[in-house]
Amino acid sequence: MKKTITILVVIVASIALTAGIVRAASEYNITRTLGGASGDYFTLDGTLSVGALKVGAQSVGGVTFFNGSIVNNTTNVAGADNPVTFGDNVRIDGRVWRGATAGTGDTMPFIVNDNMEVKGNFSVEGSLTVASDQIVDVTGATVSGLSTEDLADGATLTKSDTAATLTADWVNTAYPWSADEVADTARMAFIPLSGFYTDANGTPAAITGATVPALNYTANQGLYLRYVEDDTADIGTQLVVPEDYASGGVFKAVVDTSAAIVTDWDLDFQVAISETAGTAAWATAMANETPVDIPDNAGTPSVITFTPTSQSDISAGDTLFFDLWPDSNTAAGEPNVEIYAAWFEYTSKQ
């Protein structure tokens, strides 16, 4: 049953006149007053202005039909429009868009004029554009599926601590690497076998096929210095530390044995450094270092390392004297030890 709102206004006015006083807010059932029943609705051919509007009941709710736009036509004291305000959480069961039509076909994008947080996943079915000079902060996050091939021409990936492999020439004149961005690398200064002298710590002499140790040759293996059981003569050589030296500094050698080791085979050594605590000076003594074991794997070349205890005194331009000799090679039947190559290895500057 339809009733006009005019009857409603008359009834409300009559009640107010009859009471004659301003009453506290009370609840009136207009439907029953107008003779309606549950489910009836009333029409108003005009505008209804109310101070507040309550729709639905506690725990039940209700439905409000707005067949058009919701507009706040009031202004603040400065004359600026007041926004429509939702004073509670808002649930929207449909899609949200701006303008007369949904979708991306118009020039009216949906605008959020504030900072925004998403408590959940964020999916984009189109392009994602970030304004110039803005920052995309993914600190602590994992970005998957992104490589340099996915970037536009001229774009770059921020440098990281992860390893990368260059598959073409590196050309970077605009932002060249600085020295502290390039990792130092290991370098080797090779020492020829002919650069060693026998009895170097006594009466030095050139090494030949008849000296101790002897300079020998084996087909398919090359030249080597040969020590045999009970040999004691030392050999020595020296070099100047290269100018690109940065740190470290060890002597290394490729060795082999002619057969399995019976008891033990070591090479003892000592190093003289022409610098002490950063001051250029000839060494006044050489520490007898800890002997280095010869690996017991005959027929297989092995690399052994001689690390001086005064390694921290080494600097670019220093003169190093390297002296080594057999140790613990007196057991009956010990094999020959063969030294095929030697070098000084260090970490270089870039």
Nearest to 290 by CA among 271, 276, 316: 271
Percent of the chain with pLDDT over 90: 44
Average pLDDT over residues 56-83: 84
For range 337-347, the mean pLDDT: 98
Q: What is the pLDDT of residue 180?
A: 67
How does DSSP classify residue 234?
A: -
- Range with the poorest average pLDDT among 10-24, 80-94, 153-167, 221-235: 10-24
Which range (96-105, 147-156, 189-198, 222-231) has the least confidence?
147-156
Q: How confident is the model at residue 12 (pLDDT cuts 50, 70, 90)?
A: very low
Q: Which of 22-36, 131-145, 319-333 has the highest mean pLDDT?
A: 319-333
DSSP 129-177: ---TT-----TT----S--GGGSPTT--PPP-SS-----S----SSSPP
Q: Which token pair is 1?
A: 């049953």
Instruction: List, as own/partner pairs, every contact residues 70-73 make where C-beta atoms lie below 8 angstroms and the sequence separation is at least 24, other chains included.
Output: none
Judged by average pLDDT, the poorest of 82-86, 196-200, 246-250 is 82-86
308, 313, 315, 318 alpha-carbon torsion, rounded to 10°: -70
Q: Provide the 8-state DSSP code for 180.
A: G
Least confident of 3-17, 36-50, 60-74, 86-100: 3-17
Q: Which of the two residues, 27 and 210, has the higher pLDDT score?
A: 210
Looking at per-residue confidence, does 306 or 138 come out higher? 306
Give the confidence band of 54 by pLDDT, cuts at 50, 70, 90. confident
What SS3 class is residue 237? strand
- Listed ranges 7-11, 144-148, 195-199; the one with the highest mean pLDDT: 195-199
The CATH code of domain 186-348 reads 2.60.120.260
Calculate the CA dihedral of residues 112, 116, 121, 122 and round it to 10 degrees.
40
Report the distance separating Cα 280 and Cα 272, nearest Å: 12
Q: What is the DSSP string of 244-275?
A: TEEEEEEEEEEEEESS--SS--EEEEEEEESE
DSSP H/E element including 6? helix 5-19
Parse the chain into domains and list their residue ranges: 1-114, 186-348
In terms of pLDDT, which residue wins out, 303 or 158?
303
Lowest mean pLDDT among 140-149, 295-304, 311-320, 337-346: 140-149
Predicted pLDDT at 99: 85
Across all residues in the chain, what is the average pLDDT? 85
140 to 123, 137, 143, 196: CA distances (angstroms): 20, 9, 10, 56
CB burial string 216-248: b at 16+ within 10 A, e below: eeeeeeeebbbbebebebbbbbbbebeeebeeb
What SS3 state is found at 222? strand
Within 10 angstroms of residue 114's Cβ, the number of other Cβ atoms is 5
Average pLDDT (194-217) is 96
**Tens digit of pLDDT for each residue in 150-184?**
666 656 656 666 777 777 777 777 777 776 666 77
Neighbours of 276 (CB within 10 A): 13
Residue-wise pLDDT tens digits, 248-271? 999 999 999 999 999 999 999 999
Bridge partners, residue 323, by sequence:
236, 270
- In this structure, the number of other CB atoms found within 10 A of the CB of residue 328 comes to 16
Note the pLDDT tens digit of each residue in 121-144.
988 888 888 899 899 888 988 888
For residue 196, is pLDDT > 90?
yes
Q: Please tell me the distance from the alpha carbon of residue 96 to that of residue 113, in angstroms, as a whole number.
A: 15
